[in-house]
Amino acid sequence: DFLSDKKHQSLRRGYLLAVGFLGAKVVETTAQRQWIFGARQLGLRLRAALISHIYRKGLVLSSQARQGHTSGEIINYMSVDVQRITDFAWYINTVWMLPIQISLAIFVLHTNLGLGSLAALAATLIVMSCNIPLTRMQKRYQSQIMEAKDARMKATSEVLRNMKTIKLQAWDCQFVHKLESLRNIEYNWIWKSLRLGAIGAFIFWGSPTFISIVTFGTCLLMGIPLTAGRVLSALATFRMLQDPIFSLPDLLNVIAQAKVSADRVAFYLQGEEIQ
């Protein structure tokens, strides 16, 4: 509106708008840096606490409980599983920020496009609903990856512990083939997980275009005039919607990984101890 009606707008108001935009960006950047600092602190403290608990638990495990947790699995608990649990600390605030961001974006669209914003809301919900089956499959893949990783680490630890016997009996080739087969199983599950992630990335990068087409097409069918100001404002709002849509697959993926890892660590920590 300011640029389209320059004759009736004062230069002072233009400067105030520019300073306001700059101040809002400075506040956003400062708050984001503080949030990242706090999330990193929380993640480091959580990581240190979990690793120390897992290590102390390994010292007091009973012989029966130790049979179900090999040294390779315990290493995975302290490296892979703990890392996935601490990664969730980065996404804690995203859980409540996503609904607020989407609500504000839809409100801005409703102010500019009226009922056309309902089409944008429907398109956004369609894009987000596509992530639900992807998340379920990703959770299953993560469980299979961790099981394959545990089997490979267990076999590797056994080979290293009995290396002298293997060398004396000339069993090198047999155990190499066994380790390679376990590695191939893990590789296949990782490949499926990455391929599913590529599909999620395609949905993310194509979502703004899809939402724009649906929204503007609905506005044309409903006879809502699309001026330059409305179109530019709507495109900027679609860019605001892209961040929540991008964060949602990552959030669901991190939640799925953290849930699987938390269950594994909890099962280990609940093991029987030496009396």
Q: Which residues contact 200 (CB under 8 A, 6 or more apart)?
A: 131, 134, 249, 253
Q: In which residue are the tokens 């506005």 written?
A: 219
Specify whether the CB–CB gap between 72 and 153 falls below 8 A: yes
* Residue 32: CATH number of its domain: 1.20.1560.10
Q: Structural domain tally of the chain?
A: 1
User: Domain for residue 48, yes or no?
Assistant: yes
Is residue 64 assigned to a domain? Answer: yes
Write out the chain's pLDDT in tens, 275 residues: 555 555 666 777 778 878 988 998 899 889 888 888 888 888 889 999 999 998 888 888 888 877 777 777 788 888 888 988 888 887 877 778 888 888 888 888 888 888 888 888 888 888 877 877 887 788 788 888 888 888 888 888 888 888 888 888 888 888 888 888 989 999 999 999 889 888 888 887 787 788 888 888 888 888 888 777 778 778 878 777 777 776 777 787 788 788 888 888 888 888 888 76
In this structure, the number of other CB atoms found within 10 A of the CB of residue 237 comes to 23
Q: Which domain holds residue 105?
A: 6-269
Establish if 81 belongs to a structural domain. yes
Is 169 part of a structural domain of the chain?
A: yes
Q: Are the C-beta atoms of residues 200 and 249 closer than 8 Å to each other?
A: yes
3-state secondary structure of 89: helix
